[in-house]
Amino acid sequence: MKAARTQPFQAQVRHILGCLGEDPERQGLAKTPERVEAALRWLTRGYELSVMDAVGDAVFTESHNSMILVRDIELYSLCEHHILPFFGRAHVAYIPDGRIVGLSKLPRIVEVFARRLQVQERLTDQIADAVMEVLSPHGVGVLIEAVHLCMAMRGVEKQNSRTVTSAVRGIFRSDIRTREEFLRLVHAGNPR
């Protein structure tokens, strides 16, 4: 994958502009191909990131055994079907089993997977699976709420719709009280 990421594609962007009926050489578009390439490389930089690099040495032995939740993690991604943005918030919780991770590492894990061409369903699962792999906790809960511009700007054109996905692992799946606590904490203070 990395070899393909080094191939320039400005010429293809220029060609697409022409196919859209534009003059790719006019002043306003002359630098658009290089800007589009730079933007797409930035927006998909997650392909060059790994969970272990994101977490580093920030896993600590700790006897804490109650839920840890990082709520309202902003995320931005690109829908793999239309390469249009979707954005929203991720809520990531886990119940440790002797190991915790630095709090900033949960948003970094979200970023690893969000900065790729994605579908929200897979993104939710990838985050949950990564936290399970890194920490081997009693359980993990991930909930993502996002607005998809592929639904808002085209197709059904529904600007106020949100997509909600969840992934639960371990005790979050097997114990209804744990799952309910997670959902209660996610929605605490959110008037929606």
**Residues identified as active-site:** 79-82, 120, 148, 150
Name the phi and psi angles at 64, rounded to 5: -55, 135
Concatenated DSSP letters of 120-186 = HHHHHHHHHHHHHHHH--SEEEEEEEEEEHHHHTSTT--TT--EEEEEEEEHHHH-HHHHHHHHHHH
The DSSP symbol for 116 reads: S
The DSSP symbol for 17 reads: H
Please state, in angstroms and as integers, the Cα–Cα distance from residue 24 to each residue in 19, 21, 38, 160, 188, following that order.
Answer: 10, 9, 17, 34, 50
Which residues sit opposite 165 in a β-bridge? 144
Rounded distance between C-alpha atoms, residue 84 and residue 81, angstroms: 8
